[in-house]
Amino acid sequence: MADSTTAGRTVLVVLDTPDRELRSPARELLTIARDLGEVIAVALTEPSAQTVAELGAYGVRQLLVTDLLGDEADSHLTPVAAEALVAAVTTTAADVVLLSSSFVNREIGARLAYAVGAGLILDASAVSVGEHGVVGDKRVFAGTWDITCAVTTPLAVVTVRANAVVASPAPEAVETEVDHLEVRPSDSATSAVLVSRTEHAPADGGSGRPALAEAAYVVAGGRGTLGDFGPVEDLADALGAAVGATRDAVDEGWVTHDAQIGQTGVTIAPRVYIGAGISGAPHHRGGMQASSVIIAVNNDPDSPIFEIADFGVVGDLADVLPQAAQAIRAHKG
Ligand SMILES: Cc1cc2nc3c(=O)[nH]c(=O)nc-3n(C[C@H](O)[C@H](O)[C@H](O)COP(=O)(O)OP(=O)(O)OC[C@H]3O[C@@H](n4cnc5c(N)ncnc54)[C@H](O)[C@@H]3O)c2cc1C
């Protein structure tokens, strides 16, 4: 809701998949953006009718679609996307640009910030406006420090982690006007182009579970599963959660590398993380310590994961997880 702290500020929210639907990270960005100023959504590809309708529900009055000119312009490598955003920032005189914290968006955000001389905050878990300007909270050094940083330039570019807030539509839906902005990428931006793109089948065999990096609930298994991820997957499905794992479970070949959480895997910050048969080694903690609620299931009461757990169950995961799944299904029913 606009108030004296939001007055006069223009916030661009960059949509990840405007040609399909608004995914949860985009809905979360729009929720954050409403508290910062007047929101303009930006799409680097033609939006679907569903996206435009959902933007209206989130109170977005303007969607700016960048039309890329030139033979190679639709290659969509990061320099092209960054130049399109430079044009969007210039046209709208934006004060803040918010992107979701994907690998690609971190690079686009960095290129944009460099091109326009803006301050950049990567992987923020909260964004607000303070006396120093736009402020981002983030967890750093493998979860050992929480820091707050302020952008001191007129424009702030911020990438925001998934699950930073619970997405909520605006109190009143509005009509979203779609405007187009022509952008001709420079020769240097198109000096490397995308030649082909092949989409692989999901590593989880098309389970329909949410993506690990952006899931609100994650159930992770470690060496304590002894290779049987059945109870982990069953609890995940009862909760609507993603499945994660430790590196040891990945190295054993029990799950694929995309499920690895940690310093050399995916960094997550779900609302609830459940770790089963996981000791809580620093390399693993670094990727999950920012979770809002940490639940540990381990048969060793001295396991280090209990040091960071909000709730702990000392027991055999093969007994505990099925009971938890059953209780959740009964509750839902
Ligand atoms: C350079 C480097 C990078 C690394 N990067 C990562 C990374 O990104 N992510 C990562 O996870 N690891 C990483 N590691 C490995 C990390 O250091 C640990 O070895 C690993 O996280 C431990 O995995 P684990 O908890 O599954 O196994 P363990 O440490 O062996 O713990 C297994 C736990 O299961 C419990 N258990 C056993 N049986 C049961 C049961 N029936 N029910 C309940 N509990 C049970 C045990 O009490 C124990 O606590 C990295 C290591 C190095 C050197």
User: Domain holding 122: CATH number?
Assistant: 3.40.50.620
Tell me, yes or no, whether 282 lies in a domain.
Answer: yes
Q: Which atom of ligand 1 is nearest to the CA of 248?
A: 23
| Paired tokens of 5 | 């702290």
DSSP for residue 90: H
Residues 141, 269, single domain; the answer is no
Residues 233, 166, single domain; the answer is no
Q: How far is CA 43 from CA 13, 188, 199, in A?
A: 9, 22, 22
What span, in angstroms and rounded, lies between the C-alpha atoms of 11 and 236? Answer: 36
Question: In testing the pocket of ligand 1, which one of 232, 278, 313, 323 has its CB within 8 Å of the most ligand atoms?
Answer: 278
Residue 152, classified by CB atoms within 10 Å of its CB into exposed (0-12), middle (13-18) or buried (19+), is exposed
Q: Across the strands, what pairs with 295?
A: 274, 311
Tell me, yes or no, whether 300 lies in a domain.
Answer: yes
Q: For the beta carbon of residue 323, count every other beta carbon within 10 angstroms.
A: 13
Residue 302, classified by CB atoms within 10 Å of its CB into exposed (0-12), middle (13-18) or buried (19+), is exposed
Q: How far is CA 81 from CA 23, 40, 62, in A?
A: 19, 17, 19
* Closest Cα to atom 27 of ligand 1: 223
Segment 69-85 shows an average pLDDT of 80
Cα of 269 from ligand 1 centre, angstroms:
19
Q: How confident is the model at residue 2 (pLDDT cuts 50, 70, 90)?
A: very low
Q: Which atom of ligand 1 is nearest to the CA of 317?
A: 42
Over residues 136-159, the pLDDT tens digits come to 999 887 777 899 999 999 999 999
Cα of 59 from ligand 1 centre, angstroms:
45
Tell me, yes or no, whether 15 lies in a domain.
Answer: yes
Q: Across the strands, what pairs with 243?
A: 219
Q: Which atom of ligand 1 is nearest to the CA of 282?
A: 17
* Closest Cα to atom 39 of ligand 1: 224
pLDDT at position 4 over 50: no
Residues 161, 232, single domain; the answer is no
Proportion of the chain above pLDDT 70, given as a percent: 95
What span, in angstroms and rounded, lies between the C-alpha atoms of 262 and 285? Answer: 6
Question: Who contacts 1 (Cβ-Cβ below 8 Å, separation ≥6)?
Answer: 34, 35, 171
Q: Which of 213, 33, 3 shows the shortest CA–CA distance to 127?
A: 33
Tell me, yes or no, whether 235 lies in a domain.
Answer: yes
Least confident of 96-100, 248-252, 287-291: 287-291
CB-based burial, 244-258: b 16+ in 10 Å, e otherwise: bbbbbbbeeebbeeb
Question: In testing the pocket of ligand 1, which one of 232, 248, 316 has its CB within 8 Å of the most ligand atoms?
Answer: 248
Tell me, yes or no, whether 179 lies in a domain.
Answer: yes
DSSP for residue 205: S
Question: Phi/psi at 325 (nearest 5 deg)?
Answer: -65, -40
Tell me, yes or no, whether 2 lies in a domain.
Answer: no
**Residues listed for the chain:** 333
**Continuous segment of H or E residues that includes residue 121:** strand 119-124
Q: Which of 68, 154, 76, 79 shows the shortest CA–CA distance to 111?
A: 79
Q: Which atom of ligand 1 is nearest to the CA of 263?
A: 8
Amino acid making up residue 249:
A
Residues 179, 221, single domain; the answer is no
| CATH number, domain containing residue 261 | 3.40.50.1220
Cα of 220 from ligand 1 centre, angstroms:
11
pLDDT at position 189 over 70: yes
Domain membership of residue 286 as a residue range: 217-332
Question: In testing the pocket of ligand 1, which one of 223, 288, 307, 320 has its CB within 8 Å of the most ligand atoms?
Answer: 223
Question: In testing the pocket of ligand 1, which one of 247, 266, 321 has its CB within 8 Å of the most ligand atoms?
Answer: 247
Residues 81, 135, single domain; the answer is yes
DSSP 282-302: HHHHHHHTT-SEEEEEES-TT
The structural domain count of the chain equals 2
pLDDT at position 108 over 70: yes
Residues 156, 239, single domain; the answer is no
Tell me, yes or no, whether 296 lies in a domain.
Answer: yes
Question: In testing the pocket of ligand 1, which one of 279, 289, 294 has its CB within 8 Å of the most ligand atoms?
Answer: 279
Residues 35, 86, single domain; the answer is yes
Residues 159, 50, single domain; the answer is yes
Last residue of a domain, one of 183, 203, 230: 183
Using DSSP's 3-state secondary structure scheme, residue 64 falls into strand
Residues 176, 270, single domain; the answer is no
pLDDT at position 89 over 90: yes
| Paired tokens of 99 | 């992107």
**Ligand 1, pocket residues at CB < 6 Å:** 222-224, 246-249, 260-265, 277-279, 281, 283-284, 287, 297-300, 303, 316-318
Cα of 305 from ligand 1 centre, angstroms:
10
Last residue of a domain, one of 183, 202, 230: 183
**Continuous segment of H or E residues that includes residue 313:** strand 311-314
Cα of 253 from ligand 1 centre, angstroms:
14
Residues 26, 172, single domain; the answer is yes
- pLDDT of res. 215: 94
Cα of 281 from ligand 1 centre, angstroms:
6
| Paired tokens of 220 | 């992770």
Q: What is the pTM of this model?
A: 0.85
Over residues 169-182, the pLDDT tens digits come to 999 999 999 999 99
Residues 153, 47, single domain; the answer is yes
Segment 32-42 shows an average pLDDT of 97
Tell me, yes or no, whether 132 lies in a domain.
Answer: yes
Q: Which atom of ligand 1 is nearest to the CA of 278?
A: 25
| Paired tokens of 173 | 């839906």
Alpha-helical regions (H) of 155-273: 230-239, 247-251
Last residue of a domain, one of 130, 159, 183: 183
What span, in angstroms and rounded, lies between the C-alpha atoms of 232 and 149? Answer: 37
Residue 238, classified by CB atoms within 10 Å of its CB into exposed (0-12), middle (13-18) or buried (19+), is buried
Residues 62, 129, single domain; the answer is yes
Cα of 277 from ligand 1 centre, angstroms:
8
